[in-house]
Chains A and B, each alone.
Chain A
Amino acid sequence: MPHESAAEDDGFAEFAVAAWPRLVRTAQLLTGDFHEAEDLVQTTLAKVYGRWGRVPRGEIDLYVRRALVNNNLSRIRRKRVALLLTPVLPESLRHTYAGHAEAVEQRTALQEALADLTARQRAVMVLRYWEDLTEQEIASVLNCSIGTVKTHARRGLAALRTHPRLAAAPVPYAPAAPSGAPR
């Protein structure tokens, strides 16, 4: 219809502009690839815009995060199918899979550690340690129980703690004094 933008936007443009940088960063942690991250956020926001009138105004952030995580899970599944069906991997796929020497070299320790987690464990870790969501909020985003979130978080954290490159990475700030008061 010819007269869309202003009335139908209803604040979407403003939301998208404000949310874009953080969503791309979240997607970067979820995917490990900058271009895939931007594609993922673009697809997600396009879908959100398609339903913008129905998105509960008090839960926009939750709705968008949920959509982002679900779209990412779908992307991984599609990729898994592509891997099964493709005899020789296209360049873009090879670079996102662990084991490829160049990719491993270029990856940071964190991306390498995250690549070893399952998609859901990874989502839980990103939502917990980057988005700072509570377990309850993560359960809402992932549409699962808090128990499941706790399990993913425990296993994910254990994997990150014991990952050789991440464990060996230098602490980016001065360590607490030996008497370090517990918080």
Chain B
Amino acid sequence: MTPASTPDPDTGPATDATNVDAEAEAEAEVDRIREAFVREAHDVTPSPVPLAALMREGRKARRRRRTATFSALTVLGAATAAAAVAGVMAARPSLPAPAPIAAPPSAVAPRVPTPKATPTSAKPTPTPVRVVASGQRIDAGKGWKVWLTAEGKHWAGPDGLENSRSVTDGNIDTAVPGVSHQAHTSPAGGFHSGLYYGTRAVGRVELKGPGSTRTAATLLELPGRPGWGVWYAHAGRGAGEAGLAMYDRAGKLLAELPG
């Protein structure tokens, strides 16, 4: 696709012409690629939409989710009632027990202890790093699963949709401390997770919310201190809006991600 007459590179105007030619050539190439996409896409003739089948499947999925939510609420209700009763028993008998304050809106108690969302101004205390095997699916609570492989971070939501973030595709510079953030939020709160990297001495990753609210994340790493890991947390509304912070074990700020 080189022009037939090659311009003389020694002269100024010719250089300009070369640049214009190169630009036009690049544009033509992009146009050609775009054309190729359109041709390829129109090369297929979609069947009629199987509306009844996909609506049937959708209804099934909805019923499954409702059943799961109902079960979770039942468990939560029982746990809250038990906590309230315990609170009443422990409190002075003459006073009405205050309504138990659930820290983060975590419905089902996960096997892994979920860090507390606490308004705090204290110096960050280190969070233990849980070392997990490659591919080991960690129950992050509320139907979320998180696992690590040498390739990076993987997670799946209650609906089964899986996603991943690579540490090997060249988009992350693991030589410099940093954190990434992926959020799945709803009006009630959300599941937050991400990668941390560029350090072998991570102490804490915090989600910064409105005011001075901080939510400490659970930390996961593969064996052998690879220099990166995964953090996750369930948090209420607004968590992470003010950004993220990563500290080392001595409480020194290593990296921040603006909100």
Q: Taking beta carbons and an 8 Å cutoff, which residues of A are in contact with B? A: 4-5, 9, 12-13, 16-17, 20-21, 24-26, 28-29, 34, 37-38, 42-43, 45-52, 67, 70-71, 73-74, 77, 108-111, 118, 120, 125-126, 129-130, 143, 147-148, 151, 157, 160-161, 166, 169, 171-173, 175-176, 178, 180, 182-183
Contacts and interface: CB of A to CB of B under 8 A. Distances in A.
A17 B170 CA distance: 40
A125 B182 CA distance: 22
Contacts of A171: 28, 32
B106 to A, nearest CB: 20
Nearest to B36: A110
B241 interface: no
B20 interface: yes
A75 B55 CA distance: 21
Interface stretch (B38-46, B121-129, B208-216, B230-238): B38-46
Secondary structure at chain A's binding surface: helix, strand, loop or mixed?
A: helix
Interface string B53-78: 11101111110010000000000000
Contacts, number: 135
Contacts of A51: 62, 159
Interface string B173-191: 0000000001000000000
A164 to B, nearest CB: 14
7 contacts: A29-B41, A46-B58, A50-B61, A73-B162, A77-B164, A125-B37, A130-B41
Interface in B53-110: 53-55, 57-62, 65
Contact of A70 (B39, B40, B163, B170): B163
A16 B37 contact: no
Contacts of B224: none
Contacts of A50: 57-62, 65, 159
B164 A28 contact: no
Contact of B59 (A21, A26, A49): A49
Interface string B200-223: 000000000000000000000000
A140 B166 CA distance: 18
Given A52-B58, A110-B40, 10 more contacts: A38-B46, A38-B47, A42-B57, A43-B57, A47-B161, A50-B60, A126-B37, A130-B38, A151-B170, A176-B28
Nearest to B64: A50
A175 B28 contact: yes
Nearest to B4: A178
A172 B35 contact: yes
Contacts of B54: 16, 42, 45-46, 49
Contact of A29 (B32, B37, B57, B160): B37
Nearest to B3: A178
A171 B50 CA distance: 37
Contacts of B3: 178
B10 interface: no
A171 B170 CA distance: 33
A108 B43 contact: yes
Contacts of A118: 169
Contact of A28 (B33, B34, B44, B162): B44
Given A12-B55, A73-B164, A157 B33 contact: yes
B131 interface: no
Contact of B49 (A16, A43, A130): A16
A24 B33 contact: no
A130 B47 CA distance: 20
A160 to B, nearest CB: 6
B32 A129 contact: no
Contacts of B40: 28-29, 108, 110-111
A157 B20 contact: no
B16 interface: no
Contacts of A126: 37
- 8 tightest A-B CB contacts, nearest first: A49-B58, A46-B57, A50-B61, A24-B46, A25-B41, A20-B49, A74-B162, A50-B58
B24 A71 contact: no
A109 B35 CA distance: 12
Contacts of A182: 20, 23-24, 27
